[in-house]
Structure 1
Amino acid sequence: MFIYSTQVRVRYAETDQMGFVYYGNYATYYEVARVESLRSLGLSYKILEEKGILMPVTENASKYIRPARYDDLLTIQVVVKEMPAKRITFIYEIYNEDKKLINLGETVLAFVNKETGRACDAPPGITDLLKPFLMAKINFTRYLTDSRTFKNLVQRLDNIHLRNKEVSIYKILENLFSNIKNDDILHKASSVAYSFTLAVFPTIIFLFSLIPYVPLPDIRANIIELVGEVAMLKQVGQTIHDVVNKPRGDLLSFSVLLSVFLSSNGMMELAQTFNKIYKTIEKRSYWVTRLIATFLTFILALVLFVSLILLTVGNSILEFMVENGFLTQGFLIYSILALKFLVLFIMLQFTISVIYYFGPALHHRWKFVSIGSVVATLLAILVSYFFSFYISNFGGYNKLYGSIGAMIALMVWIYLISITLLIGYEVNASIDQAAAQNDEKPEII
């Protein structure tokens, strides 16, 4: 990690009418610290420009914690955590004379060839100077990226294009991995998972409370059998059995109100996370956002309910065909498995597509069924399968935690599903980002 500190004195011209440093001047402080940090390495913008390398700012972010005032002596700490490739990221921490943190910032600069105006790799001058500070972290990465196998793979992926040969798969993957890291997907997924965890139990009670009112004789038995097969639900099997077999209007009314409110909170958190990933400002009012979140909640509940009915009806039809000699017993087993997977895929794909299309503030760029929604659907199915396999064979949650183990396993599963939803949305955002990079040259600012 490369760390450098410099100091600046706040001038009167840099303050506003309140006596505080004008917010736009922090970008100037960032530049002063950035230039001095490079100068401490024996490098400067002038040297780079003479070598035909420009460094335009592509991203700039600030978080204002405390105000700085006229004549304050500010200490600006500059940090470079990663070896630059086509971009370099500078992280800033600004402290006042009392050693209190007043500002956090981050700036991303691209390397641009002066003659062509196109993005290029970081010049050896910078990488060689930063190498002693970052060597321990980049040894394996540099070894991997320099290998012939990796370069051949990159070349193949770069020749595969989407959107009428405008965007390469390599560019999409490059943006995707960078965005997943920079957007802190794991932290955002934990926030989304927490919101949905609060809603999951009243939602389950609401769905199961509907079962006694469904005029299908086999659906109750199938629900109980399904609960017995799922490791995460065995501990609450008796409770589900009572809810499914005894009609209770009071429980149904209360659970629907509570589940709708809490589930819509989860949807709102998910939509806000989508907006942060795509760096979109939410212009819809609170009530419009709440209404959309409630709509998505009902869609999710409807899809789950319809899936259960389709699985029940489908199994009954297949069993009827076997009993009447239309199908063999062996074919029945494979047909049921195929039916379950097909229903699960279609319903999950539809649900995720609806969430991606209507949830975020900006959705008109993508078709209803997008590449990201397909990726998220496949990942969700794989994650659910492998997690269920792990719980059944290696988890031991029930042995270690008792009956609360089912709740812990369910929370972990919701967290993993939240990650898959955010990754799928990152895929859509990365495709748009790659298309924009392909169509536009970096702006020199």
Structure 2
Amino acid sequence: MRSRWPGVAYLMILAAMLLMTACGGTSGSSSSNGNTSTSSNPGVLDPNKKYTVDFWEAFGIGANKTVIEDLTKQYMQAHPNVTVKLQAFDSYDTLQTKLTAAIAANKPPTMAQIYENWATQFQQSNALASLQPFISGKNGLSQQDLADFYPVLLKDGQIGGTQYMLPFNKSDLVLYYNADMLQKAGVQPPKTLQEFALDLTKLTKPDGSQWGLSYTPDVDGWSVLYKALGGGDFTSADGKSAAFADGQNKQYATQALGLLAPLAKAGAVHVTKSYNWQNDFISQKAAFGISTIATYAFLAKPIGNTFKFNEVPLPAGPAGQFTVLFGTNLAIFANANTDAQTAAWDYMKFLTNTQSNATFVKGTGYMPIRQSTFNSSDLQSYYEQVPARKVGPQSMGSAFVASAALGWSQCRNIITTNFTSAITGQLTPDAAMSKMAQSCNSALSQA
């Protein structure tokens, strides 16, 4: 038999509920400005509330630190009821370790910088908050806003078609060259891999005092060669095996491993470790260098007026011109409280708007994430002063992210080791490929 509330008791409870609603005591309450709560209006700040956002990032030094701190102060001045606490870590490796531990302990920050494969890992435990409710909410992003982000960057923040991240500090690989050295030798910046090989030979001195290229081999350099030669995917659709080791891809992957080996043996490519190639380029011992656009500031300051240097897109191969997309995205964590998520979204919108992004680009050297930023008078004036800085954004249409698979971080190290061994002649390209494929398949299958 269905029970019924006695009439008097029902009226008393109803009156109490109405009183709580009038006082703002329920989760669905209305604020004085007429906006409903954050649960029904995700991302909408209540001016009568205080908010705190814990933002974990890896901008602990230099211009990056200065710019993010200045932008954050600017945001908090405009939003005095929001406190953004920046927690800077000394490296992305440290940031990843700390985030993984915090998620396991159910104590993540409100938001953080994260890479694509981290996002895949974190989302296995549903640790990331979908941005879709925020995007479609009253304080969201219009279709015009979404179209303003470079498509490759917006897609980079998706998992299974759902937007979990917005782009933040993005860069790509370019070719740096000593313009004075090339002009003196009558050499034009190369547009193809074939021209590049010829230029490296021309700009190498027999006595070993000058190399065409000073280079620290890494997975990213190999991946560009692999794509330029005709390679396809890097990992299988399920992320459990190395697609670069299958079928025709294997041929291109092996070619990419051995492409620079003859040039290194002839002395045209000087193999270095870590950032030592920069010292060679700065001291004019090398005509070319391969690195991200974010390296520009690290070269410009010590070079000063010693010589002119510039950037061009990486040389194209038979399959076209390619470059690797670097940098992190911004994400909000699912276990952060609702109010913190609300403020995090508003702060994220601020960091990624046209004006803030232009400030960020000029201060750090990273790429614009919006087309309106690139086309703004502010940034165009900047590019007129430093034309080289346009190369990275203009190459974005050919940029790729190799893989977001869980085991790809291990694969990156494996590929770097074997690519180095192939260039230096410690392994033949075939032997390096065999080791690389076996180890990478193992890492992916166990992730």
Q: Sort the TM-score into its range (normalised by shorter chain).
A: under 0.3
Structure with greater proportional helix content = 1
The TM-score normalised by the length of structure 1 is 0.21
Rg: which structure is higher? 1
The TM-score normalised by the length of structure 2 is 0.21
